[in-house]
Amino acid sequence: MDSSRIPQPGAELISVRIGDQSYAIDIMAVREIRGWTAATPLPHAPPHVLGMMNLRGAILPVIDLGSRLGLGPAEPNSSSVVVVAQIGEAQVGLVVDAVSDILTVTQGLIQSPPDIGGEILNYVNGVMTSDTGIVSLLSLDNVLPPEPIVLAAA
């Protein structure tokens, strides 16, 4: 576990739910939480890109976070939410099923993820337990690369 990427005790995390799984995002990356509205599709976009949305004049890509994590495509509905997050220089909308909780990091709360190898460990900075089960701390910088989304040529 890279301790430089783990929030310090006292930091806050937002817990989100995708299906039956819980994930945490550093609250400092979150700009706002919005109710679901359909995204405008982007032609030739990768499967995890649902489209784009207008946020007070700024056009943001909308990402199906569950699909990006390999959990299958989302079926957004009226209870889904869009977490607007800052990733590098860009803001993106992350579609999740729900925002569950705000967690405060305490000493020893976050543990190393199990060593299974593969790409998933790039996405997860650590794991923690809560009353509802195991929560994975996401590394948004690795889940969504810092380069802008490039559309394939037609």
Q: Flag whether pLDDT at 5 surpasses 60.
A: yes
- Between 64 and 1, the higher pLDDT residue: 64
User: Binning pLDDT at 50, 70 and 90, where does residue 94 land?
Assistant: very high
Question: How sure is the predictor about 13, in pLDDT bands with cuts at 50, 70 and 90?
Answer: very high
Give the strands of the sheet with 12-18, arranged side by side.
98-104, 12-18, 21-26, 133-138, 124-130
CA distance linking residue 90 with residue 29, whole number of Å? 11
Residue 29, both tokens: 């990356």
CA atoms within 13 A on the CB side of 23: 21
- Sign for the pseudo-dihedral over CA of 67, 70, 80, 143: negative
pLDDT digits (tens, 9 = 90+) for 99-117: 999 999 988 889 888 877 6
pTM above 0.75, yes or no: yes
Distance between CA atoms of residues 46 and 118, nearest Å = 21
